[in-house]
Structure 1
Amino acid sequence: MSIINSLINLGPSVMMPIIFFILALAFGVKIGKAFKAGMLVGIGFEGIGLVIGLLLDSLGPATKAMVERFGLNLTVVDPGWPVGATIGWGSPIVPIVVFGALIINILFLVLKLTKTVNIDIFNYWHFLLTGGVIYAATHSIAIASIGALISFIVVLFIADKTAPKIQETYDLKGVSFAHATSAVYVPIGIAINWIIEKIPGLRDIDANPDKITKKFGVMGEPLTLGTILGAGLGILAGWDITKVLTLGVKVAAVMVLLPAMINVLVEGLITVRDAAEETLKKKFPDREFYIGLDTALLIGDPAVLATGLLMIPAALLLAVILPGNKVLPFVDLASLVFLIPMTSPYCKKNMFRIFVTGLVVITLVLYAGTSIAPYYTEAAKIANVTMPEGANASGGMASLVGGATTPLGWILIKLSTLFR
């Protein structure tokens, strides 16, 4: 665990270059080229982190202002995914689950049950969070560990099944995404797309960014879309013209810079992927392998990022009108984009269909958060995580982005309570 904790503390921008450098050498890449590939991956992750940080830092004050402006008074506070990650990595099941997941992944690869080599170690926190909440509900390390590992296995299979479609849509060969939040919502995207296809009129709505750009020229480009959406969120926040325009420019910058940073990462990834493909085909001619990565690589797509921004005011509206909901969307409002990137290919990159999928996803998340809030709050206490300063703790907390509030996480948590 000391070794794993040291790797986690390095962060993706340092951890991933080391991993990819070692992988490149293992697959026969010369040391200079391997170093460059690893560094490009690291620079790409650092760039993605900086741009996403710009997005979250820009939207954070706007979402807080929206919450205050509309006077939302809900008792379960959303403290954000960083708190969820801290709960996951701070739970007592970490040693069992982390090593268990690594062993399961290797075993499944040997038995040809999966093609995904999941090196996205930092995002293990998603199923560790589910396990941490289960532990808070049951006080059983065994039950919590089993629940977390079931989540890992399910998502591993989803990563395999979705990889071909995602690779084709995003032009990312040889990768998959075993992300225990994004992956779970793929069946919802498939179902929504199927339903819309059956409804005359709705099925004819084509909000694909590429087609919008062709039709409207510069007015349909991502930078224009980002400016409009950013300014619109600033207006909803009740800001003055200076802040509105500033937010518009910052969101436009994210829409332009994020794909550029992803391209840098992909350049390094291609070197390792090609070498891996050549080596593995020689040793395993009948096998295909995918490198499991973070869905941060997918959110730079204009359809995904634009829809994620539209989901911010939609989440606040749903929180108010949904009967029985107690969750106040707060810190994770700016991170809602991470809920939908894997559904986009199954919605034909149509922003209308992705948005409808997002509404369903947010509804499920709000009700799941309301349901598990007591256990989530207890899990935070066990992991020595305190409620964010100034937040109303009367009803506890539950994050919007994280494995615990997905349908799979909620089912596992509820089932676990039967064995207390």
Structure 2
Amino acid sequence: MLETVNHIFQIFGASVVVPIMIFIVALFLKVKPKTAMMSAFYAGVGLTGFGWVIQAFTPTITKIIKQMVDNTGIKLPIVDIGWQAGSLASFGSTVGLSFFVFGLIAELLLFAFGVTKIFMASNLWNNFGFMIWGTLCYYVTHNFWLSLGLSFFMLLYALALAEIQADRWSNYYGVKNASVASLHNIEQVIPAIILDPLWNLLGFNKIKMTPEYFKNKLGVFGEPTTLGALLGLLIGILGNLNSLGTLKAWGQILTVAVQLSAIMTIFPLITDVFSKAFTPLAEEIDKNTKSKHTGSDENVNEVKNKKRWFLGVDDGVGYGEPATIISGVILIPIMVLVAFILPGNKTLPIVDLISLPFMVESIVAITRGNILKVIANGVVWFSLGLYASSWLGTFYTGAVSHYGVALPAGIVLITSFNLMARPLNALVFAAFVSQNPIFIGLAILVYLVLLIVLRRYRPQIWEYLNNMADKNAGYSGSNEKITY
């Protein structure tokens, strides 16, 4: 049965399977069939658009990144070849396939019994993020049940983090009652919350680095299209520092500038289409929750309503938002430099650097688009992630080559910067592969405490995060209230 499920999924792909799931979920929520059908079509169109744009841009930006790496003289043994290899490996293992089938059932049961308020089943495709860690664990321990248990446990704490950030993410990205919950992009909630007081102490909250500020102060040079071109020029020049006197170099530089400008312009349009897939579902959730909760202030009700629940949506919904894509692109050359100077690092990030806008969404939402804070959080957390990826390199390479694809010629060890540069995930993995009941029990205990606090104090947590976000400059709720 597992092989049949895998075969069906591989034939149809995410752009077909995800719309079908959304159609089913919409009907379950009593959305009109015509509206449910359009939601499904928008999901398919959006996912297809994301795929086309990223596939067209990836070869160009990857080549530039490789040139930047060559210019710095970086020689690191573990090479990032992208998340796709890990995805294939997760579907190629028995543990991964088992989670793909039974994980969906678990997601429905966890939601039905109120363990989580995130309806993860609507984001079926991103389950490979849980599957790859179980696959790695099975490769190391050969213990099927322990490995499957690891995937399920990672699902549990990912749902908890997704619910913690849900109100902020939903408000910032403008999709009511929705939150991203993919394992590989959710743990950034932790540094975004923990490090925020430090950044405020340093005055980062008073520095006006938001898309709104750029647009108001810089005019045409603050528009996302123009900013994309300028960032493209910068990255292109960094990738061609040794050949700026040649026509070929400037041809590549200008090509990157135009393509990144296109990404900044086109991606928000695709995102708008993709968001339409979830709007009817989110509105239906809103009607259901409001019918069970009354009050005079709609905004307060949304925060205090403990029955409010959220759709798990693909993080492509937020990719094209200006602060998200700008900060993600700025982090590309920064992380190349960090990989070069970080003592003890063995990981060379390349292909997955294009995923950085996906990787910073939670930070963007929690900091309300403060680009400086996003970059600072990213540098700290992804630097720790490089160490995690360096430690996991041997395990990941073995699992991918065994269950997935053959290694590229000339490469000994591989990784995925997006999947493996995850400090929290690596800690949980370490606890389970140790097969030590004390370490595994400690991980479970930490989760249970987090869940109890979340269930009891969710409104207070959301209010705290909203107040924290309002401290950033230029917003009406800011204590410093700085205007443009």
TM range (shorter): over 0.9
- The equivalent of 2:418 in structure 1 is 401
Describe how 1:63-74 pairs up with structure 2 within 5 A: 63-74=65-76
Alignment-derived partner of residue 278 in structure 2:
269
Percent pairwise identity: 28
Distance in 2 (CA, whole Å) between partners of 1:59 and 1:384 is: 25
Q: TM-score, normalised by structure 2?
A: 0.81
Partner of 1:412: 428
* Map of 1:101 onto structure 2: 103
**In 2 relative to 1, CA 71–91 (structure 1 residues): closer, same or farther, beyond 3 Å?**
same
* Residue 167 of structure 2 corresponds to residue 150 of structure 1: no
- Report if aligned partners of 1:81, 1:400 keep a CA contact under 8 Å in 2: yes
> Hey, what does 1:370 align to over in structure 2?
390
The aligned residue for residue 189 of structure 1 is 192
The aligned counterpart of 1:171 is 174
Amino acid at match of 1:34: A
| 1:383-405 residue CA offsets vs partner (Å, 9 max, x unmatched) | 04221234x31xx2221101x43
How far off is 1:204 after superposition?
Answer: 2.5
CA distance in 2, matches of 1:86, 1:327: 21
Counterpart residue number, 1:256 = 265
Q: Deviations over 1:54-105 (max 9, x none)?
A: 3323312111222223322111111211112112222220243233422332
**Which sits farther off after the overlay, 206-215 or 280-289?**
280-289
Matching of residue 242 in structure 1 with residue 245 in structure 2: no
Structure 1 stretch displaced more, 44-53 or 362-371: 44-53
Residue from 133, 137, 145 that aligns with 1:134: 137
- Distance in 1 between residues matched to 2:267 and 2:154, nearest whole Å: 30
What secondary structure does 1:397 align onto? strand
| Mapping of residues 11-410 of structure 1, within 5 Å | 11-118=13-120, 119-200=122-203, 202-238=204-240, 240-278=249-287, 287-390=307-410, 392-393=411-412, 396-402=413-419, 404-410=420-426
1:277 Cα deviation after fit:
4.5
Provide structure 1 residue ranges, at least 5 long, that are not aligned to the other structure. none
Letter in 1 for 2:309: F
* Partners of 1:268 and 1:132 in 2: CA distance: 32
The residue identity in structure 1 corresponding to 2:277 is G
Distance 2:7 2:374 in 1: 36
Residues 382 and 261 (structure 1), Cα distance of their counterparts in 2 relative to 1, 3 Å cut: same
Kindly tell me: are residues 47 and 70 of structure 1, through their superposed partners in 2, closer, same or farther at Cα, counting changes over 3 Å? Answer: same
Q: 1:20/1:283 Cα in 2 relative to 1: closer, same or farther (>3 Å)?
A: farther
CA contact (8 A) 2:271 2:320 kept: yes
Query: Structure 2 CA distance, aligned partners of 1:107 and 1:42?
Result: 26
- Counterpart of 2:234 in structure 1: which amino acid? G
Inter-partner Cα distance in structure 2 for 1:255 and 1:245? 15
Distance in 1 separating the partners of 2:154 and 2:176:
25
Shift of 1:276: 4.9
**AA matched with 2:212:** D
- The 1-side partners of 2:159 and 2:25 are apart by 21
The residue that corresponds to 2:451 in the other structure is: none
- Separation in 1 of the partners of 2:59 and 2:331? 17
Residues 319-338 of structure 1 deviation map (CA, whole Å, 9 limit, x = unaligned): 11111111111221222222
- The residue type paired with residue 99 of structure 1 is V
How many angstroms apart in 2 are the aligned matches of 1:288 and 1:157? 14
Q: How much has 1:169 moved relative to structure 2?
A: 0.8
Which moved further from structure 2: 44-53 or 315-324?
A: 44-53
8 Å contact from structure 2 (residues 382, 422) kept in 1 = no
Structure 1 stretch displaced more, 7-16 or 217-226? 7-16
1:19: Cα distance to partner?
1.9
RMSD: 2.2
* TM-score normalised per structure 1: 0.92
CA contact (8 A) 2:18 2:124 kept: no
For the Cα contact (< 8 Å) 1:399–1:405, is it kept in 2? yes
After superposition, the Cα gap between the structure-2 partners of 1:284 and 1:199, relative to the gap in structure 1 and judged at 3 Å, is closer
**Does structure 2 conserve the Cα–Cα contact (< 8 Å) formed by 1:47 and 1:261?**
yes
Q: Are residues 13 and 417 of structure 1, via their aligned partners in 2, closer, same or farther at CA, if it must alter by over 3 Å?
A: closer
Cα deviation for residue 34 of structure 1 reads: 2.7
Q: For 1:353-385, what per-residue CA distance to the aligned partner results, in whole angstroms no more than 9, with x for missing partners?
A: 100111112211110011111111121132042
Partner letter of residue 352 of structure 1?
L
SS in structure 2 of the partner of residue 292 of structure 1 = strand
